[in-house]
Amino acid sequence: MVGSVTGVRSRLLTSGGGTGDIQAVHRVAEILRLFTLNKPKVTVAEATARIGLNRTTLHRYFTSMVLDEILERVPDDATAYKPGRLLLQLGAVAQGQRRVLNVAPRYVDALSVDTGLSAVLSLWGASGPVVSLVSEAGTHPILITVRIGAMLGPDSAQTRLFLAVSQDQDRVERYLKGLSAEARETLESQFESCRARGLSRVEVPAINGVVLAAAVFDEHDVAGTIALVGSTASLPEDAAGTEAALLRAAALITEELGGEDTRQAALTDPAA
């Protein structure tokens, strides 16, 4: 049986992106749709009746999904399956991001108005921070902005901050492994200063720009970053009032997300 499951997994992973791959993804999605809040457990027999595939095929799918931690067996019912570790992890990420996107916009808008600068919310995506919200409510004569959906690189203030304060060391290590030794060393050298107050400042000489980012937390981990984007003139290093406004906005979002304890644990000087 193990050999047949391995064969199924191998075909799903190596068949070259053809019709079979698309069909396999569709079938996995059909299986996952059977799980709801009112029905957290599903048997192969139930899936057979609902989806219409034969029992042997569905059993192979369920077994393969268990091996990849998408599903797991229910301990007290040998015929039933429930969401596995991977699904729970993805669900937590999705729910956390949804909460941030529900809570943050009013604070990001207010921050832009208060400082006269562009304010940006970034969330961790598949391979790094992604700009998820931009507010240009500021009134400064020259506004530097960022495109929504932009993927931020390892030299960004947001990436430094995410990696420095994240409790998910597997995620941190996966990201760092993709960098050259020199780039990794440069990035890691910034972590200590980022961990002090959950703050990171990066200058962008090509556009005479500055990004000042602060971390926001939920009850599990760093949930995102909010940042001010300006020029070296509008966002100088000694802009204590602007920095305080950014930290205040981050603290308010963190409080609403229930992340104050997480913040205290992640930062080395959270009261500063």
16-36 pLDDT, tens digit per residue, is 556 667 888 999 999 999 998
Q: What secondary structure does DSSP assign to 137-194, as a single string?
A: ----SS-----TTPBP-TTSHHHHHHHHH-S-HHHHHHHHHTS-HHHHHHHHTTHHHH
- Cα separation, 134 vs 118, in Å, equals 7
Element of type H or E holding 109: helix 85-115
Q: Considering just the CA atoms, what is the radius of gyration of the chain in Å?
A: 23
Least confident of 134-143, 176-185, 194-203, 205-214: 134-143
Q: Given a cut of 60, is residue 3 above it in pLDDT?
A: no
Q: Given a cut of 70, is residue 70 above it in pLDDT?
A: yes
**Together in a domain, 40 and 121:** no
**Together in a domain, 239 and 205:** yes
User: Given this model, what pLDDT does residue 38 score?
Assistant: 83
User: Given this model, what pLDDT does residue 215 score?
Assistant: 98
- Residue 271 resides in a domain: no
Q: Given a cut of 80, is residue 4 above it in pLDDT?
A: no
- Cα separation, 67 vs 231, in Å, equals 51
Tokens of 13: 């992973």
Q: Can you say whether the dihedral through the CA atoms of 168, 127, 226, 223 is positive or negative?
A: negative
- Residue 272 resides in a domain: no
Residue with tokens 């100088």: 236
85-111 pLDDT, tens digit per residue, is 888 777 767 777 788 999 999 999 999
DSSP, collapsed to helix, strand or coil, labels residue 62 as helix
User: Given this model, what pLDDT does residue 90 score?
Assistant: 78
DSSP, collapsed to helix, strand or coil, labels residue 268 as coil
Tokens of 99: 């909460």
CA–CA distances in Å: residue 151 to residues 24, 68, 126, 188 = 29, 28, 10, 20
Name the domain count of the chain: 2
Q: Given a cut of 70, is residue 125 above it in pLDDT?
A: yes
Q: Given a cut of 60, is residue 1 above it in pLDDT?
A: no
Identify the CATH number of the domain in which residue 63 sits: 1.10.10.10
User: Given this model, what pLDDT does residue 18 score?
Assistant: 61
**Together in a domain, 138 and 79:** no
Mean pLDDT of 204-225: 94
- Cα separation, 93 vs 100, in Å, equals 11
Range of the domain at 242: 88-266
- Cα separation, 59 vs 5, in Å, equals 10
Say if CB 83 and CB 98 are below 8 A apart.
no
- Residue 254 resides in a domain: yes
Which pLDDT band, with edges at 50, 70 and 90, does 146 fall under?
confident
Which pLDDT band, with edges at 50, 70 and 90, does 13 fall under?
very low
**Together in a domain, 95 and 201:** yes
Mean pLDDT of the chain: 88
User: Given this model, what pLDDT does residue 23 score?
Assistant: 86
Which pLDDT band, with edges at 50, 70 and 90, does 138 fall under?
low
Q: What is this structure's pTM?
A: 0.70
**Together in a domain, 133 and 220:** yes
